[in-house]
Structure 1
Amino acid sequence: MTTTVIERELLTARIDQWLDASRFRDYGPNGLQVEGKPQIHKIVSGVTASLALIEAAVAAGADALLVHHGLFWRGQDGRVTGWMRQRLGALLAHDINLLAYHLPLDAHAELGNNAQWGQRLGLVADARFGEQDLGFIGPAPQGLSLDSLAAQMTQALGKAPTILPGDGRPLRRVAWCSGGAQGYFEQAIAAGADVYLTGEVSEPQAHYARETGVAFMACGHHASERYGVQALGAALAAEFGLEHEFIEIENPA
């Protein structure tokens, strides 16, 4: 396939428009985080801008690295030392653009992590909940049980979830929000969920599941956020004729 070249500013403007990035109050900057070469023909996508992913992008000949978890977060130490120096040094040495989209990539109705995750589980949202409407909720497929959902999750994500079973009620409404959204469990319960799916679990959720009867499934932060960036990269490749490659860096979290 013959690939084309696109100006960095045009590409970033298109992603910003597509994801409506400016409307989100986020924990770090969305968009171009590290400036590289002005023209892009190959995008490598991945979940987190780790040194391993950056080195893999270099080896793959990327002009831009598209990630969900970028380098800069609110409240972090601003010094360029240690791991930050290594990551920035590798990007700058090879003139690679770093593009990062966090909450905008969770929320998008078609390309986002939650939309793509739900698609793999046969879930269709008919409402939103939680901060900035990041959480999705919809009807459970007919005959869905907690055991069958867990088996489906294991097959889809490649790892078994941690399950808090609740009171064993029939599953009529399923709520989900990828990544570290365990804090939305109460809002999912208030929205009418019978089971809530997210990436991580903390101590309070076990008590909420026991006391409310709503089941909770922690499916892996990384595992639940692999799909949005792949969908976005593929959509950009299709629209602009760019080369795109998703690179998986294993993460048990």
Structure 2
Amino acid sequence: MTRKKRPSPPTLAALVAALDAEMQGERFQDDANNGLQVACSDKPIRKVCCGVDASLACFEAAAAQDADLVICHHGISWGSSLRRITGLNYRHLAFLMRHDLALWACHLPLDAHPVLGNNAGLARLLGLRRCRPFGLYHGTPIGVAGTLARPLARDAFEHRLAAVVSPRVTAWRFGAPRIRTVGIISGGAAAEVEQAAEAGLDAYVSGEA
């Protein structure tokens, strides 16, 4: 029996091209400099570690796993934040370069992705159906709205949400006593509650209120 040849690990350039094509960062007006923020040497990418925040703790954990690439939701390059390589900027870059570790970051495009995104994932966990883009930010939707299979009382919906994300859910109990339609924008999106009201949704879920 002929053993199948294992595919060769991708180069950083090939992996970044695939990630950029999937996430379409150019569609979004974002403070984050999405995409490859720090490169590594010209080596095959054999191991990838993922995290929410590009912190020293995240980089140390990735290096301990002999990772070649870190993918984060919150990277280290925002606007002109890397204009001066001092303090924490220096420590971040020095660690990444010393360990030959690349960093690719994706902020709003990951929030908005209809399959891989934070909002889409939470919608699936909550059991939302007929999901659609929701929540405009500079004219581009970054959230998702959907419908529960059956209406839930407010308390039951809060319990479901707490079971999925965290036992610490803060609820502002206004509007409909039973929840059927839900809008989700993860992260700091308190101001977008007005869009949820305009859309006639029963509940709005955000990472920060």
TM-score, normalised to structure 2's length? Answer: 0.89
Cross-structure match for 2:120: 115
Can you list the C-alpha shifts for 1:23-77, whole angstroms capped at 9, x where unaligned?
1111121110001132211000010101100100000110000010000112547
Can you list the C-alpha shifts for 1:83-112, whole angstroms capped at 9, x where unaligned?
222111111110111000111111111001
Cα separation, 2, equivalents of 1:175 and 1:145? 16
Q: Identify which of 85, 93, 96 aligns with 1:91.
A: 96
Cα separation, 2, equivalents of 1:112 and 1:138? 15
Tell me how many residue pairs correspond in the alignment: 200
Cross-structure match for 1:187: 195
Secondary structure of 2:187 counterpart: coil
Are residue 72 (structure 1) and residue 77 (structure 2) matched?
A: yes
Secondary structure of 2:178 counterpart: coil
Contact 1:3/1:41 (CA < 8 Å) preserved in 2?
no
Greater relative CO (CA pairs within 8 A, separation 6+): 1
- Change in CA separation of 1:3 and 1:54 when aligned onto 2, cut-off 3 Å: farther
Q: Identify which of 57, 63, 71 aligns with 1:58.
A: 63
C-alpha RMSD of matched pairs (Å): 1.7
Cα separation, 1, equivalents of 2:41 and 2:60? 17
Can you list the C-alpha shifts for 1:145-201, whole angstroms capped at 9, x where unaligned?
221121112211233211100145322311111111112111111111111001001
Cα separation, 2, equivalents of 1:93 and 1:144? 52
Are residue 49 (structure 1) and residue 50 (structure 2) matched?
A: no
Q: Identify which of 123, 132, 142 aligns with 1:126.
A: 132
* Amino acid corresponding to residue 154 of structure 1 in structure 2: A
Cross-structure match for 2:166: 158
Cross-structure match for 2:30: 26
Cα separation, 2, equivalents of 1:167 and 1:158? 23
Instruction: Point out the structure with the larger helix share.
Output: 1
* Between 118-127 and 35-44, the greater mean CA deviation after superposition: 118-127
Secondary structure of 1:143 counterpart: strand
Contact 2:182/2:204 (CA < 8 Å) preserved in 1?
yes
* Amino acid corresponding to residue 135 of structure 2 in structure 1: F
Identity of aligned pairs, percent? 37
Q: Identify which of 17, 20, 25 aligns with 1:16.
A: 20
**Structure 1 regions of 5+ residues with no counterpart?**
202-253
Instruction: Point out the structure with the larger strand share.
Output: 2
Secondary structure of 2:104 counterpart: strand
Cα separation, 1, equivalents of 2:82 and 2:93? 15
- Change in CA separation of 1:140 and 1:30 when aligned onto 2, cut-off 3 Å: same
Can you list the C-alpha shifts for 1:188-227, whole angstroms capped at 9, x where unaligned?
11111111001001xxxxxxxxxxxxxxxxxxxxxxxxxx
**Structure 2 regions of 5+ residues with no counterpart?**
1-5
